[in-house]
Amino acid sequence: MVQQQVLDRAFAALSDSTRRGILTRLGEGPATIGELAAPTGMTLTGLKKHVQVLEDAGLVTTEKIGRSRQCRIGSERLDDAMQWITFYQRLWERRLDGLEAYFTLTKGTQK
C-alpha cells in the first residue's frame, strides 16, 4: 500500500508540464526558486508550490542557503516510478510478441 502511495505522488507530480520542466532544468544542476521561476514568468510563490509538490513526491530536495532556497533533483522516487514503468513495459512487450507470433502463425495457415 505504501508503495502505491509513493507512485501516486510521483505520477501526480509528473502529470504537470511545469513540474516536468522544473525537473528538466534541475537535471542540468541545482537552481534556486528564483532561477527556476525566471524563464517561466511565474511568481516565486507559484513556482514554490510546484517545487513543494515535487518535494512531497521525493523528486526534488530543497535546502535553505542564506536568503534563497536551493533545489536539487532527487532520483530515489523517480527510480521507483521507472521500475514500475519498466515492469509494465516488459509485460506489454511480451504480450505483443505473443500476439505477433499468433498472427504470423495464423497467416501461414490461411493459405
pLDDT band with cut points at 50, 70 and 90 for residue 110: low
* Predicted pLDDT of residue 105: 79
CATH number, residue 90: 1.10.10.10
Other CB atoms within 10 Å distance of the CB of residue 47: 22
* Predicted pLDDT of residue 50: 96
Total domains, the chain: 1
As beta bridge partners, residue 93 has none
Full-model pTM: 0.73
Residue 68 and residue 46: Cα distance in Å, rounded?
A: 15
As beta bridge partners, residue 65 has 68
Other CB atoms within 10 Å distance of the CB of residue 60: 24
pLDDT per residue as tens digits for the range 54-102:
999 999 999 999 998 999 998 666 777 778 888 888 888 887 877 778 7
* Predicted pLDDT of residue 106: 81
More confident residue, 21 or 106: 21
Residue 53 in grid coordinates: 509538490
Q: Which domain holds residue 15?
A: 2-109
